[in-house]
Structure formats: structure tokens, C-alpha cells
Amino acid sequence: MTGSLHIDWTRCDGRGLCTELLATLLTRDDWGYPISRRGDGIRGEVPIAPGHEEAAREAVILCPKLALTLRPPAKSS
Amino acid sequence: MTTPSAALRNVHPVPPPAGAARLFLAGSRAGYSQHLQAYGSIDVGAVAPGFLDVVEASGLTGRGGAAFASWRKMAAAAQAGGRGLFSARPVVIANGAEGEPLSHKDAALLAHAPHVVLDGVLVAAAALQTSHAYIYVTAETMPSVQSALAERTDARHIRPVEADDTFISGEASAVVNKIQGGPSLPLDKLRRLSDAGLRGRPTLVLNVETLAHIGLLARFGVDWFRSVGTARDPGTRLVTVAGAGTDQVLEVPGDASLHGILRSSGIHPEELSAVLVGGYHGRWVRPLDYRLSPAGSPETLVRPGVGVIYVLSPDQCGLAVTAQITEYLAGQSARQCGPCMFGLRAMADVLNRLADGERDPRLVAELERLGRIVSGRGSCHHPDGTVRMVSSALETFSDDVREHLIGRCTRIQRGTR
Ligand code: SF4
Ligand code: SF4
């Protein structure tokens, strides 16, 4: 487990930059908001699959709404 | 918190209340003297951090909806408060916002037994070794709370704050947001309120009824508390029974029978088609004899949630009522989180089409799909609660769904919509 990507839904505007940077993990829902491709990522915690740490870090930096945060692994809730 | 005021010394010992009538013993609109007469006084100064063990042993769960173990919440805030060199004192917030439109058990409690709640706030604050306390209530109940606060000398530090009249205003982080001067909208949950809540302090938000039970628990002890209810659901709880011409607040034992509650509200369960238990985020069930308890199998019990039992009268269409409720809930989305803001609206639209008799068999699958992409994708549980209520409706009213889809809802034709 390499941690997860926390999405602050109160900030995210759904323009979808992160879904382009992390296209293997994320896709867009009906309204453009990022959603985990695997159907997990409950409560906006999207597990980061091994090998995607760098792209996830980049998404955190580039998100225009500062809506993304990396969370360390093995933290419940 | 160490020197009890004169009023709190144990000058008037009173036997513990017997039976399931606990919270309203001091009578209607009880002032402080009636309160002391009914319950005796309590030495808040003697409440120490060890009281958390008493709360744990009591098995008390939150009465505001989530039914979380109260001692865990208290312990989390107490631990965060005790951590670190410059550890901030925790804050205790009594939550009486009661945003559920059909619920008025908290309003009844604050109107008739405000001192039972205030005792609970003092006890919880003493257990957390803090004097920072707020009571967050609606405009309707504020006068009663203010006069109760003015009647006693030991509660002057409890600050009353007015809650907005919205469905979401009682969500714990929305309460914190409002008290610290922001809008009453939920906050992102990157950090727990028990670690960093009101102005960064460890924060304990408890429902006013939960605090009322804590106040009585401090007086009368664990054995008394557990003498009503069952091992998995001890104590009593307040419920609001509404709909089908009824609207009343009752105090019932833990693990109570749904039939028993309905009968004592003057309703014959045999004549009903369905009830919605737990408020608008609750669960539709057929009126079988479920137990009302937060723990156990969903086959035999239904979770009390905020304690609302909404009775569908026989001439109402359950799908139409569900559509109306979902419409309301979509309108109450705080419009902060995209999936909640757009998704609940979309669900309400599909439900309206189904309720209005549109004969498209894909409507149900579409509702289920929307439920999957909305659930869990907001800063608070509003989308999850709404999705759960809607899916319980699809299950409970599956016959009605079939009738609607072949254009034969008998209840629509009776013009209830
Ligand atoms: S980049 Fe940021 S604002 Fe844009 S969709 Fe992703 S999380 Fe939302
Ligand atoms: S999930 Fe909905 S109700 Fe909750 S904070 Fe987000 S927009 Fe508001």
C-alpha cells in the first residue's frame, strides 16, 4: 500500500486536471468530478497503486483548487 | 471546576427514577427548582477523568443519529487535549440543531428539561477537565435555554449559539464551522474534530439528548442506567412518531419493539404499509415487529438514527413520498461538493419520473447507478444517508415500483400526489 489521495470535495471544481495526470487511477463521473476507476475510493480517499506515487504528487501540486492531499498508508478513516 | 457551587452540593438526595420515564421527570417546562426536586443535586466538582470509564461501562451511544459509542468520542477529545507540551484544552459542544424536519425530540427536551441537558454539559466538561462549553440550539429553543442558563450560577460559562434552520446545520463539522464564525456548512475531514476542531482545539460534539443521559448517569450510576433497555442497547431514547395524523415525542426503552412504539402512539401497525425509521437518512421498512436498536442484524432490527418514526398512511404512495423527501434532501445539499450537489438532484429527478408513472424500466437501474457514484463522495454523510434511504425505498416498495412501471399505481389515482 502506498497511501491514498484525499479529495477535499468542498474545494474541487471538477475541471478534471487530476484525472488527466492520473488517468490510470481516476476517471470523471457524470459531472466531471474525479472518481476512482476501481470503484473504491470511498469518501474521497483514492488508494494510490504502486508506481503512481510520482504522478499523484504532481497532481497534488498542480490541482488549481488545492483540493488534493497525499495521505500516508495504513491510516483508517 | 474543583469547587462545586452551593447549588451543586448534594443537599437533596432523591431516589433514582424507576422505569423508562427518565428525562422529563421534573414536569413540563421545568425550572431549576423543579429539576432539583425531581433529580436531586449533583456534585460536578467530583466528576473526574475516570468518569469516562463510567460512560464506557454504561454502553451509552449517541442519540443524534450515528449512535457512536459516547465514551470513545469523549476519550478521543480527552487524549488529544492531554497530548503535547502546549496542549489546548478541549471544547465541549452540546448539539441541539435537530435539522431533521420531522424530529422534535431535542426541542422538547430543551423546552421541558433544559437543566438535565445543562447538567450533562457540565459533567462532560468536567470529565474532559475543561471549562470551554457551548450549547448550539435553534431560534425556537433559544429562549428556554437562555432562561435556564440564567437560573443557575454554575453554568454561566456555557455559551449559547444559534443554529441555522437547515437540514445540515447539525452536522458536527458544520456546528464547529458556525461557532467559529463561518457558515454552518460541513468542513473537509482531513483531520478529526477530536484532534483539531473549534479553532484547532480538540472538540467533542454530542447531541443534547446524549448529554442529558450523561448528566443522569453521573447522578445515578451504571447499574441504574442499564436497568432499562437491553445489553446491546441500554438506557432509554427519545423518538418522534410522525405522519398519519400523529406527531408526538416519546421516551422508550433501548431495543424497544417497533409495534409497541406505534401502538403507544395510537397507531395500529397492522393497518400500515410502511414506516420510515431514523429520519430522512433512515430506512423504509414494512411495519413488521422490528426492534429499534443501533446494534444487531438488519433482519430483525432497524437503527433508530435521529429517532424519527415516520408513518406512511395507507392512502399515500411510498414512492411519491420518497421522491418528495429526496427532492427536499437534494435542495438541502450544502452545494459544496459536486457529486452531492449534482447527484442528489439527478436522483430526485429519476424518482419523480418513477413516482409520476413514467413507464421506463431503466429508471430503477439508473437510480442504482447514481447511488453508487454519489455514495461516499462528499465532505459529510448527506449523500450516503440519502442513497441508503432511497435504496431502502426501492426494496420496500418493490411491488409499487412494478405497478408504476406498468402504469397501475392505485395510490396515484387516489390523487395523493
Ligand atoms: S485537479 Fe483538483 S479541482 Fe480539478 S478535478 Fe482534480 S481535484 Fe478537482
Ligand atoms: S456532501 Fe453535500 S451536504 Fe455534505 S458538505 Fe458536501 S455538499 Fe454539503
Please tell me the distance from the alpha carbon of residue B198 to that of residue B180, in angstroms, as a whole number.
Answer: 6
Please tell me the distance from the alpha carbon of residue B186 to that of residue B381, in angstroms, as a whole number.
Answer: 10
**Cell numbers 446524549: residue:** B210
Pocket of ligand 2 (CB under 6 A): A 9; B 168, 186, 333-337, 340-341, 378-380, 382-383
Please tell me the distance from the alpha carbon of residue B46 to that of residue B327, in angstroms, as a whole number.
Answer: 50
Is A53 an 8 Å CB contact of chain B?
no
pLDDT in tens, B161-200: 999 999 999 999 999 999 999 999 999 888 889 888 998 8
Specify if B417 maps to a domain: no
Range of lowest pLDDT (B124-128, B206-210, B305-309, B399-403): B399-403
pLDDT in tens, B233-245: 999 999 999 998 8
Report in angstroms the alpha-carbon separations of A35 from A5, B18, B124, B138, B377. 11, 53, 40, 37, 9
> Positive or negative CA dihedral for A49, A55, A60, A63?
negative
Q: Are residues B301 and B349 in the same domain?
A: no
How remote is the CA of residue A66 from the centroid of ligand 1, in Å? 8
CB contact under 8 A, B343 and A12: no
CB contact under 8 A, B337 and A12: yes
Joined grid coordinates for residue A35: 472518481
Residue of B188, B338, B372 lying closest to A33 (CB–CB): B338
Specify if B37 maps to a domain: yes
CB contact under 8 A, B339 and A9: yes
Average pLDDT of every residue of chain B: 91
Please tell me the distance from the alpha carbon of residue B355 to that of residue B323, in angstroms, as a whole number.
Answer: 7
Are B280 and B100 within 8 A, CB to CB? yes
Q: Are residues B11 and B142 in the same domain?
A: yes
Specify if B412 maps to a domain: no
Q: Residue B358 is part of which domain span?
A: 318-405
- Tell me how many domains chain B contains: 3
Name every chain B residue with its beta carbon within 8 A of the beta carbon of A9: 188, 336-340, 377-379
| Strand (E) or helix (H) holding B7 | none
How remote is the CA of residue B194 from the centroid of ligand 1, in Å? 28
Please tell me the distance from the alpha carbon of residue B103 to that of residue B95, in angstroms, as a whole number.
Answer: 14
Of B193, B225, B257, which residue is a domain's last? B225
How remote is the CA of residue B351 from the centroid of ligand 1, in Å? 30
| Strand (E) or helix (H) holding B355 | helix B338-355
Nearest chain A Cα distance for residue B78, angstroms: 19
CB contact under 8 A, A9 and B338: yes
Pocket of ligand 1 (CB under 6 A): A 7, 12-18, 34, 63-65, 67-68
Are B303 and B281 within 8 A, CB to CB? no
pLDDT(B96) > 90: yes
Confidence band of B118 (pLDDT split at 50, 70, 90):
very high
- Comparing CA positions, the residue from B387, B101, B48, B57 lying closest to residue B243 is B101
Joined grid coordinates for residue B223: 447499574
- CA angle at B90 for the pair B88 and B96, rounded to the nearest 5°: 150
pLDDT(B387) > 80: yes
User: What φ, ψ does residue B373 adopt, rounded to 5°?
Assistant: -85, -10
CB contact under 8 A, B377 and A33: yes
Please state, as a whole number, how many other Cβ atoms lie within 10 Å of the Cβ of residue B200.
11
CB contact under 8 A, A31 and B372: no
Please tell me the distance from the alpha carbon of residue B330 to that of residue B352, in angstroms, as a whole number.
Answer: 12
User: What φ, ψ does residue B64 adopt, rounded to 5°?
Assistant: -100, 0
> In this structure, which ligand is nearest to the CA of A69?
1
pLDDT in tens, B259-282: 999 999 999 998 899 999 999 999
Under DSSP, is residue B410 helix (H, G, I), strand (E, B) or coil?
helix
H helices of B356-409, where? 362-374, 382-396, 398-405
CB contact under 8 A, B188 and A12: no
Of B250, B280, B312, which residue is a domain's last? B312
pLDDT of residue A42: 60
Of B258, B291, B312, which residue is a domain's last? B312
Mutation target for B interface from A30, A35, A68: give the one with most B CBs within 10 A: A30
Q: Are residues B186 and B215 in the same domain?
A: yes
Average pLDDT of every residue of chain A: 86
> Positive or negative CA dihedral for B195, B281, B142, B237?
negative
Please tell me the distance from the alpha carbon of residue B336 to that of residue B133, in angstroms, as a whole number.
Answer: 28
pLDDT(B3) > 70: no
Q: Are residues B145 and B190 in the same domain?
A: yes
Is A31 an 8 Å CB contact of chain B?
yes
CATH of the domain at B142: 3.40.50.11540
Please tell me the distance from the alpha carbon of residue B186 to that of residue B378, in angstroms, as a whole number.
Answer: 10
Q: Is B350 exposed, middle or buried (0-12, 13-18, 19+ CB in 10 A)?
A: buried
Residue whose CB lies within 8 A of the most ligand 1 atoms, among A4, A5, A11, A15, for a mutation test: A15
Number of A/B CB contacts below 8 angstroms equals 54
pLDDT in tens, chain A (77 residues): 578 999 999 999 999 999 999 998 899 999 999 998 876 656 568 889 899 999 999 999 999 999 999 988 764 44
Specify if B416 maps to a domain: no
Q: Are residues B189 and B300 in the same domain?
A: no
Residue whose CB lies within 8 A of the most ligand 2 atoms, among B100, B185, B281, B329, for a mutation test: B185
Please tell me the distance from the alpha carbon of residue B381 to that of residue B396, in angstroms, as a whole number.
Answer: 22
Q: Are residues B38 and B162 in the same domain?
A: yes
Is A39 an 8 Å CB contact of chain B?
yes
| Strand (E) or helix (H) holding B284 | strand B283-285
Specify if B132 maps to a domain: yes
CATH of the domain at B371: 1.20.1440.230
Report in angstroms the alpha-carbon separations of B382 from A2, A30, B47, B266. 29, 19, 36, 32
Please tell me the distance from the alpha carbon of residue B378 to that of residue B188, in angstroms, as a whole number.
Answer: 9
Q: Return the exposure string of A18-33: e unless at least 16 CB atoms fall within 10 Å of the residue's CB, then b.
A: bbebbeebbeebeeeb
pLDDT of residue A46: 86
Specify if B384 maps to a domain: yes
